[in-house]
Amino acid sequence: MKESIQLDRNFFSQNTLSVARNLIGMRLVRLEAGKRISGLIIETEAYRGEMDLGCHAKTGMTQRNRVMYGVPGHAYIYFTYGMHWMLNIVTEEEGFPAAVLIRAIHLQEGDDIVKLRRGNQPGKNWCNGPGKICQALKITGVFNGVDCCESHSPLFVESNSGEPFLHFSVTTSPRVGLFKVPEPWKSIAWRFVARAENNLKLN
DNA sequence: AGCACGATTAACT
DNA sequence: GTTAATCGTGCTC
């Protein structure tokens, strides 16, 4: 019998590219005032190590990026462009800075709450960007560093008995928004996107 | 100074 | 219906 199981630290301690790929089809869950807001992860990006010049860790440890150097499975959340929060989950072994950026989800629960925050936009635009997810699920810097592998965490990821809830076919492409980043990092295909087939109506 | 972005607008097909 | 261009915003380094 299949059941929803919270992803554990072992999952996130794997290579960042594997984690980014394997998160596709898993379910991101936000517990807010006892209610669940959740959705299937359909787009991620890998950021891996100080040598990756697209990664925040390229300058070494700073106040902002220090949780990326910590224990895998923790949330690395930062603020950018003056208005947007971004959600990442830390990967690989402690001391090696790496994380997966959650870029898009397909909403499954809590659409009544999300509508209050994103209702000024059509439903297809509610969670199809990293800043939009954080607005929809009310994820802000107060969750920076929370352990997504702890029980009763306000933020975690579920599998379907260790499997994704949907087996998407996945395409890769360069990461988004790295304008001034040198090659090969600018073009390396570390972005993972679920293909919009599988009769999954993206609203 | 430079962002791991999003909403709007303006051109397209 | 889509794609391209623009720029607000405030925090980090």
Q: Determine phi and psi for A11, rounding to 5 degrees.
A: -60, -45
Amino acid whose CA is nearest the C1' of C12:
A64
Distance A8 CA to B1 C1' (A): 40
Virtual torsion, Cα A148, A105, A100, A167, nearest 10 deg: 100
Torsion angle of alpha carbons A86, A87, A90, A95, nearest 10°? Answer: 30
Amino acid at A167: H
Predicted local confidence at residue A199, as pLDDT: 47
The pLDDT score that the predictor gives to residue A1 is 81
pLDDT digits (tens, 9 = 90+) for A62-81: 999 999 999 999 999 999 99
Does residue A202 have a pLDDT over 90?
Answer: no
Does residue A120 approach strand B to less than 7 Å at its CB?
yes
pLDDT at A195: 83
* Proximity of residue A74 CB to strand B below 7 A: no
Check whether residue A178 has its CB closer than 7 Å to nucleic acid strand B: yes
- Cβ-based neighbour number of residue A185 at 10 Å: 19
CB A43 within 8 A of CB A104: yes
Residue recorded with tokens 């295909």: A189
**In percent, how much of chain A has pLDDT > 70?**
96
Question: Residue A101 burial by CB count (10 A; 0-12/13-18/19+): exposed, middle or buried?
Answer: buried
- If you write DSSP's letter for every residue of A153-169 in order, what string do you get? -SEEEEEETTB-SS---
pLDDT value at A198 more than 70: no
By C1' distance from the Cα of A84, the closest nucleotide is: B5
A146-153's contacts with Cβ under 8 Å and 24+ in sequence apart are A146/A74, A146/A75, A147/A71, A147/A73, A147/A74, A148/A7, A148/A12, A148/A73, A148/A74, A148/A75, A148/A89, A149/A6, A149/A7, A149/A8, A149/A9, A149/A12, A149/A73, A151/A6, A152/A31, A153/A31
Question: Residue A2 has what pLDDT?
Answer: 81
Which pLDDT tens digit goes with each residue over A105-162? 999 999 999 999 998 888 889 999 999 999 999 999 999 999 999 999 999 999 999 9
* DSSP codes, A22-80: HTTT-EEEEEETTEEEEEEEEEEEEEESTT-TTSGGGG---TTTGGGGS-TTBEEEEEE
Does the reported pTM lie above 0.75?
A: yes
